[in-house]
Chains A and B, each alone.
Chain A
Amino acid sequence: MTDFAGLHLRLKDSVERFPDRVAVEEAEGGSVTYRELAALSDQFCNWLTAHGIGAGDRVGLYLPKSIDGVAAILGSLQCGAAYVPVDPLAPASRGAYILSDCAVRVVVVERAFAAALEAELKQLGASPELLVLDAPGGGAALRAALEEVGASREATTCVPVKPTDLAYLLYTSGSTGRPKGVMLTHGNALCFVDWCGDVFSPTELDRFSSHAPFHFDLSILDLFVPLCHGASVVLFGESLGKEPVRLAERIHARGITVWYSAPSILTMLVGQGQLDQYDWSALRMVLFAGEVFPVKHLRALKSLWPAPRYFNLYGPTETNVCTWYEVPYTIPAERTEPYPIGKVCGHYHGRIVDPEGREVSPDSEGELCISGPGVMQGYWNLDEQNRRVFLDVPDGACWYRTGDVVQPDADGNLRFLGRRDRMIKKRGYRVELGEIEAALYRQPDVKEAAVIAESTEEDVRVRAFLSTKSGQRISIIALKQFCIQQLPPYMIPDTFTFLDALPKTSTDKIDYQRLKELV
């Protein structure tokens, strides 16, 4: 496997070819060239190596989107380690759980979050080394921290990796109440990056948006596709996602040529971004993924951004994008049904199975299973779940059960029909309703908790039903305040309903169907 060039070696190739082109920009801040990015990631790699971090280790990132964060990602890969990005806006207890679960040896953390994280890690008996950055942005904070600890500035020789070596661990919502770590390798990531190269034909002149946070799987396309092709990545920070007018202005000002995000951000831009104020001729491609895009909003977006090609990308974190569909140039006025998720990507095989795992007849609905070089290695330290998520078939291939129910249409494009379990998508994020219930059960007065999701074309509303030990209602304000200590903001229930006891089935399980009827 000496010919295999890992993710970081592909980037080195861009550094050699385009040293003075801009590699990464912050939408509201600084930028670095490929040469500067390589120098910073080399210095971080040197610091890691000096601390004995290398192949088989993991490096935690507890940072907002920034050039500092990108350099830390690349430096981690360069020394042979895998990176573990954690949402700094989620409760520190959740972040600490993730970082201790996968036993990171080092965490790069912004100073504002460091004390809370360290206290939570200590409670869990974990004590990774922390590299604390003051206000990440532009790369200056990482550079200053590395200078302070005396990290060598020498150029590094990238550690060779195998396709099966772990590149990153992305934690997603877990049905048992704790997030679970999806293990993805250099080989997994590169087959996806190469597929994107074939389909989207990026060049060094492209300017890709990076809107998704590092812990969200959309960030893999955002970061590695442009950086492997000498293009520029423009990082759009979390706060911009809440300010559609400023976001639109920044997309225009930064000359984005390829935009990629969940549809909910695009819907927000259509409604409140004042997109008609600008010339959008630079924008050549709009990619969206993570949830269904209501046709009326997609149509409205196309009327404001008429020129680009539009692609609907589908895939769970466990496979990254595994089906794709190009939206026609004109959306018929009478169309109300969302566009399909399309056909299986060239580097994958798909099959549709019944609940017993048997392939269904052509044109029938069933669960989509995917095999190919992008399928994850499994979940970190979750052997039982690993046995369940792969199809038990004798063909020797590793078939990942997506849990998504699909059906081919007359053209062979797959239509997404729903889930076979209790996972939902909210604003592009995966949410296991069981994780919300587990958090509610941690509230001392909660006796029973059940959560359902109600989907409309506009949004998904999470509704919690509770009974209490005291028989008294709990203040909803207090419940939401409790939840924000336990869960990321997008997982906090929208409504709470109190019942004397939750309805049960004949086998004494919570009757979710009856709860849905109560809404």
Chain B
Amino acid sequence: MNEIEQKIKDYILNEFLPGEDPALLTDSVQLVRGGILDSIATLKLAGFLEEEFHIKLEAHEMSADHLNTIPQIVALVESKQKA
């Protein structure tokens, strides 16, 4: 697991899944469509990503299409960092 992925997982576990077994937050878990991130939580996550990784997300990227799974979020952060 790379550093970006670890930070994202830690943030989601602490903020939105306190008490959950970290091993259960797998790549296939649907965060938005699975009821883990509601609209406000999604915005909070986007704010965290911008601050932690010094990136800027577009409005349309703060949605289930881009933030629904851990691999999607990692890919989004990495693509922004490369840009």
* A residues in contact (CB < 8 Å) with B: 239, 241-246, 264, 268, 272, 427, 459, 475-477, 480-481, 483-484, 489-490, 492, 494-498
Asked, given contacts A243-B60, A481-B34, A484-B35, whether A475 binds B43 with beta carbons under 8 Å apart, the answer is no
> Could you say which residues of chain A place their CB within 8 Å of the CB of B83?
none
Tell which of B19, B33, B34, B36 touches A495, judged by Cβ atoms closer than 8 Å.
Answer: B19
- Closest-CB distance, A413 to chain B (whole angstroms): 30
User: Considering only CB atoms, which chain A residue lies closest to B39 in the complex?
Assistant: A242
Q: List 26 A-B contacts (CB under 8 A).
A: A242-B42, A242-B43, A242-B63, A243-B59, A243-B60, A244-B59, A268-B40, A272-B43, A272-B47, A427-B40, A475-B24, A477-B17, A477-B36, A480-B34, A480-B36, A481-B30, A483-B35, A484-B34, A484-B35, A489-B38, A489-B39, A490-B38, A492-B35, A494-B16, A495-B19, A496-B19
Chain A residue at smallest Cβ distance from B30 = A481
A-B pairs under 8 A by CB, number: 59
CA distance A280 to B51 in the complex (A): 29
Taken residue by residue from 1 to 38, chain B's Cβ proximity to chain A (1 for < 8 Å, 0 otherwise) reads as 00000000000000011111100110001100111101
One of A268, A477, A490 near B29 (C-beta < 8 A) = A477
Beta-carbon contact of A477 and B39 below 8 Å:
no
Q: Counting CB contacts under 8 A, is B55 at the interface?
A: no
Determine chain B's interface SS by DSSP, over half rule: loop
A108 → B minimal CB distance (Å)? 25
Number of interface residues of B (CB under 8 A): 24
Give A307 Cβ to nearest chain B Cβ, in Å: 26
- The answer to whether A245 and B43 touch across the interface, beta carbons within 8 angstroms, is no
Inter-chain CA distance A242–B42, complex, in Å, is 8
In chain B, positions 26-83 with a C-beta closer than 8 Å to chain A are 29-30, 33-36, 38-40, 42-43, 47, 59-60, 62-63
Q: A245 with B59: in contact, given A268-B43, A480-B35, A492-B35 (CB under 8 Å)?
A: yes
Q: Is the CB of B38 within 8 A of A477?
A: no
Q: Which residue of B lies closest to A272 (CB)?
A: B43
Assembled-state Cα–Cα distance A475/B17 (Å): 10
